[in-house]
């Protein structure tokens, strides 16, 4: 059993207890992120399993909407579990969250598909995603607070950076397990039942995580506060309805976590989806590219956490957001040329447009029994899923018409439109022999570097902004709105923007705009926090003086 870890401003290296605290907290959080991101990684595949056939783009948007549902409820989980964490304790709360997450993930592995139970399948899937989101809403704040309240003041950024690694490692673990299943199974077997294995495996991870966390004690700072009778009796009220703490919650969201959220999800998830869906790269090769970038980038979390202890948290976070906003558009364009040069060549020699009565064209964000697909919907879906940018021409009362260069096809017909694209030389997939692997990997590494810069110092920054008695509650809400709403909605919103505009790069304007907003607000209104004494003072008060 780990006892109270001494909080000291001196000493060389970490003690055995400090290392175990980091290991136990981080390992459980890795498994929880693994659970949460299994669905995200398999979202393009789930679209065919849990939603009806007929419109692939609509089904994909539905899968992303279900994926986003787990993010939308994360702030509510932050409120519920953050309050419990500030009233009862950190250890108890993140034991509950990991149990709830693991159980929900295991049940996804047992869930019947649309072919078996019809519309009940997506409804149950959404319900389990909501449960996952609620659990994750309480997990991160608990783990980050627990480690920070054990860490030595001069090493807080370094110690909490291990928590920041967990999301990337969880994503990497999900890619690894899914990739292994797909290597050792043929496509039909994986589609039939093999996709369930990564979810079922989570039960073993859950048991291991609970066993390890049961060996932990409460944090010394929280225990001391409780013994002195200084705990909050109304953490929600103090956090969100009393000035100036409520102001700092809002500034933490808009000036830090919102930009961090979109940079994180663009550099990892949206990049993965872009490789697979837009650039038509084989799933395993896309997993490999992204997995290598994550593997190389993971040690940088520790390096930038250490650096934040020396030069500060805020400037690193804002610089990462600024670089991302300034370079995303050219980076994705270079990625396209590196991965699918045939697609670029096709687009350069053949302008594509779809003419139709705009009144008959819709973007279906969530497919249901109410969905009715017009010829324009089917036509735009067909072109969108090819990864081709195309112009939309409004012809009131006119038929749906495809134009590729000098070729025109009047009326919607998938067979005729497919033949027109093939005749114009459209590449049906990214040829691995033509992929510039070095350039593609370098682009992904640059985007992972942005992820590291905005994310590595974030836990320490948020912990230091708020006082002990309401720290869990106050930091959890802006973190999960920033990551759950601004970041988690990115695949859905970016895909919807692409489908709506016909431009494969248009979805990038969303993360560019949010990251730019964060740079502006953070630079003007926020101050550095690295010298805040979280054991004795209010992070808000000290931050204000700084």
Comparing CA positions, the residue from 460, 470, 473, 480 lying closest to residue 528 is 460
DSSP 168-204: HHHHHHHHHHHHHHHHHS-HHHHHHTGGGHHHHHHHH
Comparing CA positions, the residue from 542, 543, 485 lying closest to residue 510 is 485
Residue the block writes with tokens 């783009």:
57
Tokens at 163, concatenated: 């928590």
CA distance 22 to 149: 11
Confidence (pLDDT) at 545: 37
Number of other CB atoms surrounding residue 53 within 10 Å: 10
Confidence (pLDDT) at 231: 73
Residue the block writes with tokens 């309050």:
83
Residue 423 burial (10 A CB sphere; 0-12, 13-18, 19+): exposed
Q: If residue 355 lies in a helix (H) or strand (E), which one and from where to where?
A: strand 352-356
From residue 30, alpha-carbon distances to 87, 214, 339, 452 in Å are: 25, 17, 30, 16
Confidence (pLDDT) at 4: 40
Comparing CA positions, the residue from 283, 279, 273 lying closest to residue 430 is 279
Tokens at 173, concatenated: 């673990």
Looking at the DSSP bridge assignments, the partners of residue 392 are 354
Q: Encode 258-276: b = buried (16+ Cβ within 10 Å), e = exposed.
A: bbbbbbbbbbbbbbbbbbb
353 secondary structure, DSSP code: E
Confidence (pLDDT) at 416: 96
φ and ψ at 387, to 5 degrees?
Answer: 75, 25
From residue 342, alpha-carbon distances to 17, 346, 435 in Å are: 56, 6, 10
282 secondary structure, DSSP code: -
Tokens at 55, concatenated: 């419109």
CA distance 31 to 28: 5
Tokens at 532, concatenated: 């805040």
Contact between 330 and 181 (Cβ < 8 Å): no
pLDDT tens for the chain, 546 residues long, are 444 444 333 334 667 877 888 888 888 778 777 876 787 677 666 667 777 766 666 666 677 677 777 778 888 888 888 888 788 877 778 788 888 888 888 998 898 988 888 888 888 888 888 888 888 777 777 778 888 888 888 889 999 999 888 878 888 888 889 889 888 888 888 878 888 899 898 888 888 888 888 887 777 777 787 777 777 788 888 888 888 889 999 999 999 999 999 999 999 889 998 999 899 999 889 989 998 998 899 899 999 999 999 999 999 999 999 999 999 999 999 999 999 999 999 999 999 999 999 888 887 665 556 567 889 988 988 898 899 999 999 999 889 999 999 999 999 999 999 999 999 999 999 999 999 999 999 999 999 999 999 999 999 999 999 988 888 888 888 988 998 889 878 887 888 899 889 999 999 999 999 999 999 999 999 999 998 888 754 454 434 433
Residue the block writes with tokens 């000036």:
255
**pTM attached to this predicted model:** 0.83
Comparing CA positions, the residue from 69, 37, 82, 71 lying closest to residue 481 is 71
Looking at the DSSP bridge assignments, the partners of residue 409 are 402
Contact between 511 and 245 (Cβ < 8 Å): no
DSSP 37-73: HHHHHHHHHHHHHHS-SS-HHHHHHHHHHHHHHHHHT
φ and ψ at 445, to 5 degrees?
Answer: -65, -40
Comparing CA positions, the residue from 484, 523, 498, 546 lying closest to residue 260 is 484
Confidence (pLDDT) at 311: 95
Q: Encode 191-200: b = buried (16+ Cβ within 10 Å), e = exposed.
A: eeebbebbbe
CA distance 117 to 67: 20
What is the separation, in whole angstroms, between the first and last Cα of the chain? 39
CA distance 74 to 309: 29
Please, what sign has the CA dihedral across residues 505, 508, 513, 515?
A: negative
Task: Determine the distance from the C-alpha atom of residue 193 to the mean position of all C-alpha atoms in its chain, rounded to a whole number.
Answer: 26
């Amino acid at each position: 059993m780990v006892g109270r870890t001494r909080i000291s401003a001196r000493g060389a290296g970490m003690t055995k207890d400090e290392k175990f605290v980091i290991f136990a907290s981080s390992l459980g959080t890795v498994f929880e992120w693994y659970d949460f991101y299994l669905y995200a990684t398999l979202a393009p595949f789930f679209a065919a399993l849990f939603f009806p056939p007929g419109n692939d783009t609509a089904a994909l948007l539905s899968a992303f909407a279900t994926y986003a549902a787990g993010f939308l409820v994360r702030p509510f989980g932050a409120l519920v579990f953050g309050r419990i964490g500030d009233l009862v304790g950190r250890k108890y709360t993140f034991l509950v969250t990991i149990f709830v997450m693991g159980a929900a993930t295991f049940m996804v592995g047992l869930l019947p598909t649309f072919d078996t139970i019809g519309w009940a399948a997506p409804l149950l899937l959404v319900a389990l995603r909501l449960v996952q989101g609620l659990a994750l809403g309480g997990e991160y704040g608990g783990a980050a607070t627990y480690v920070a309240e054990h860490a030595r003041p001069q090493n807080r950024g370094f110690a909490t950076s291990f928590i920041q690694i967990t999301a990337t490692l969880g994503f990497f673990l999900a890619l690894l397990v899914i990739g292994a299943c797909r290597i050792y199974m043929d496509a039909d077997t994986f589609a039939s039942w093999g996709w369930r294995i990564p979810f079922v495996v989570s039960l073993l991870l859950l048991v291991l995580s609970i066993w390890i966390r049961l060996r932990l004690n409460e944090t010394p700072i929280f225990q001391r506060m409780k013994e002195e009778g200084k705990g909050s009796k109304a953490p929600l009220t103090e956090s969100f309805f009393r000035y100036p703490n409520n102001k700092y919650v809002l500034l933490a969201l808009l000036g830090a976590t919102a930009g961090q959220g979109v940079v994180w999800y663009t550099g990892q998830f949206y990049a993965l989806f872009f490789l697979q869906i837009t650039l038509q790269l084989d799933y395993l090769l896309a997993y490999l590219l992204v997995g290598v970038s994550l593997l190389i980038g993971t040690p940088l979390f520790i390096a930038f956490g250490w650096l934040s202890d020396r030069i500060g948290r805020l400037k690193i976070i804002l610089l990462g957001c600024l670089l991302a906003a300034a370079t995303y558009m050219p980076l994705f364009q270079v990625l396209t040329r590196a991965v699918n040069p045939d697609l670029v060549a096709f687009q350069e020699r053949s302008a594509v447009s779809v003419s139709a009565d705009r009144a008959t064209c819709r973007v279906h964000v969530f497919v249901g029994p109410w969905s009715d697909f017009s010829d324009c919907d089917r036509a735009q879906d067909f072109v969108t899923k090819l990864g081709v940018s195309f112009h939309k021409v409004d012809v009131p009362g006119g038929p749906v018409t495809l134009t590729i260069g000098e070729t025109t096809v009047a009326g919607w017909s998938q067979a005729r439109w497919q033949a027109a694209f093939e005749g114009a030389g459209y590449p049906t997939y990214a040829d691995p022999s033509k992929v510039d692997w070095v350039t593609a990997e370098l682009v992904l590494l640059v985007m992972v570097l942005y992820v590291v810069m905005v994310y590595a110092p974030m836990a320490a920054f948020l912990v230091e902004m708020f006082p002990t008695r309401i720290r869990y509650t106050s930091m959890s809400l802006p973190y999960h709105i920033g990551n759950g709403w601004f970041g988690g909605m990115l695949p859905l919103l970016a895909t919807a923007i692409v489908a709506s505009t016909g431009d494969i790069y248009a979805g990038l304007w969303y993360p560019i705009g949010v990251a730019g907003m964060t740079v502006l607000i953070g630079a003007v209104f926020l101050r550095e926090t690295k010298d805040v004494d979280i054991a004795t003072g209010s992070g808000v008060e000290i931050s204000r003086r700084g």
